[in-house]
Structure 1
Amino acid sequence: MKQTNNTKFAILGLLTTGCHTGYAIKQMIDQSLNHFWKISYGQIYPTLKQLVADGLATVQDTSQEGKPDKKEYFLTEKGEMELRTWLQAPINAIATEKNEVLLKLFFSRHQSNQSTIIQLEQYRQKLHEHYHTYDAIEKMITTELFNKEDAAFWLFTLDYGKRTTAAAMEWCADTVQQIQNWEEE
């Protein structure tokens, strides 16, 4: 079965948010999508070029005083239809997460319990920092971007991130406690 390139749909979606240059798209990715969908800078321009070639977007050169022309991309009607079709298609699979801490934990019988506990506590601290980033993003959306059409949907995805991060922090604490209990037995 052919795998769908969802990066194409992420870029199509970003074109609907007012991001019309590769730079603006990268900024939006760094501030939002990167928390749940990774797109490298090196993927943006080839994807935009392909969207134009497929008739899903158009490109316009806009002159800037004292600077090179910038390329601005706009969704075509065909691109909007393609985005809507993808949005309405059923979810076929649950994404597999690559998680280094889980991979290390899986093989942790080959290290001391104390080393495992330290790694889990470090991971929990990173999750805690991540959670605070989500709080800051939520504050920005609710105070500065609340009037954007997409704001409610951004908050829904943010809520997912906050809930899964909180659950992961709780899992870390519980796992550390279980390992510590082994040492007491």
Structure 2
Amino acid sequence: MEHYTHTTYAILGILTTECKSGYAIKQLIDRSLNHFWKISYGQIYPTLKIIVKDGLAEVHISSQKGKPDRNEYFLTSKGIETLKNWLEGPIDQIPIERNEILLKLFFGRYQSKESTVFLLEDYKQKLDARYQTYESIEQAISKYQDNGEDSLYWLFTLDYGKRVTKAAIDWCTFTLEKISDQEE
């Protein structure tokens, strides 16, 4: 069996939704996957080309009145089977986080305490904003149950993001308190 990149599997998964064009795929990525999986616009079309070449999807041309024709992609049975096999396999490795705030804090003794506090407060503020975004997404998914069975799984991934973000907010609060205690 051919081994594809995670981007290929992500796009195969997206093709199980109502998103069938490159543009629609990019919109879905920006609205949802981008919170936990980055795919650049420049990766979408080359990946779609591979998917079609390997018989995992077929491309149909869709005519739109007053607009250029658009390519729409539909999974084949081989594409569905390939996605299913990947989904049911074990993960390759536990994700390794690259976190700039942790890197800066690791070497924190070489910066002023004021700078450290500023960095942590700024990070916490950004996490709060992210958490609010997740809350809005959750409301939107819950409001529109048109997504059927998918929405349950979307909410699972969203819950993970919310929990991780909440833990990071709590960590910021704890760390800021410890730094404050040091100054006394």
- Please give the TM-score of this superposition, normalised by the length of structure 2: 0.95
How far apart, CA to CA, are the structure 1 residues paired with 2:107 and 2:144? 45
Give the aligned partner of residue 56 of structure 2: 56
**Which position in structure 2 is the counterpart of 1:105?**
105
- Do structure 1's residue 33 and structure 2's residue 33 form an aligned pair? yes
Give the CA deviation at 1:146: 5.3
Q: CA RMSD in A?
A: 1.2
Match of 1:68 in 2: 68
After TM superposition, the structure 1 = structure 2 runs for residues 11-160 of structure 1, keeping only pairs within 5 Å, are: 11-145=11-145, 147-160=147-160
Match of 1:169 in 2: 169
Which letter does structure 1 place at the counterpart of 2:109? R
Cα distance, 1:4 vs. partner? 5.5
**Corresponding residue SS for 2:68:** strand
Structure 2 letter corresponding to 1:149:
E
- Cα distance in 1 for partners of 2:88, 2:13 equals 13
**Secondary structure at the counterpart of residue 14 of structure 2:** helix
Structure 1 residue 7 corresponds to structure 2 residue 7: yes
AA paired with 2:172? C
Match for 2:93: what amino acid?
A: A
- Point out where structure 1 has 5 or more consecutive residues left out of the alignment: none
Greater alpha carbon shift after TM alignment, 73-82 vs 138-147: 138-147
| 1:147 positional shift | 4.7
Q: From the superposition, tell whether residues 146 and 102 of structure 1 become closer, same or farther in structure 2 (CA, over 3 Å).
A: farther
Aligned-partner Cα distance in 2 for 1:118–1:70: 48
Structure 2 gaps, min length 5: none
Q: Percent identity?
A: 59
Task: Give the superposition deviation at 1:145.
Answer: 3.2
Structure 2 distance, partners of 1:52, 1:146, is 28
Q: Which residue of 2 aligns with 1:179?
A: 179
- How far does the alpha carbon of each residue in 1:139-179 deviate from its partner, in whole angstroms, 9 at most, with x for none? 00011135522000000000000000000000011111111
Q: Distance in 1 between matches of 2:97 and 2:145?
A: 30
Deviation at residue 14 of structure 1 after TM alignment: 0.2
Identify which range, 82-91 or 99-108, moves more after superposition: 99-108
